[in-house]
Amino acid sequence: MYLRGIRGATTVEQNNADEILAATSELLQAIVEANDFHPEDIGSVFITVTEDITATFPARAIRTLIGWELVPLMCSLEVPVENALPKCIRLMVQVNTTKTQAEINHVYLKEAKALRPDIVKLTNEATR
């Protein structure tokens, strides 16, 4: 068994609590589906947001999901780099698994696809 990190990112159009929560839930669900794991497999989830996301904590969305109540969550600000993708939510899900690094599927949604087009291409090819 290994501890593997699964990356994911998405964006919101507005700094709105409902949109932030919905986008976070959508991203986590996509990561879970792409990698076939359960909450009890999770060591922790690190969540970062760009400094223009202030309406709510994205962790609130995860905390409401059945089975995720006890998973350790941590929110933080992303490093404010000039010209970085705005209104971006990133997840680093640390999962206990027997999968190899090559078998892990990282997920990028919406405008965040531009962050790692190489991974988006690989994921799209793997799901065909």
H/E stretch holding 108: strand 107-108
Please check if 90 is assigned to a binding site.
yes
Distance CA(13)–CA(91), nearest Å, equals: 18
Distance CA(98)–CA(89), nearest Å, equals: 27
Please check if 108 is assigned to a binding site.
yes
State whether the Cα torsion 20-26-29-31 is positive or negative.
negative
Please check if 2 is assigned to a binding site.
no
Active site residues: 7, 63, 75, 78, 90, 108, 116
Q: Which two tokens stand for residue 83?
A: 């010209």
Query: Which DSSP letter does residue 13 get?
Result: S
Number of residues that make up the chain? 128
| DSSP three-state, residue 114 | helix
Binding site feature residues for prephenate: 7, 90, 108
Known binding-site positions? 7, 90, 108
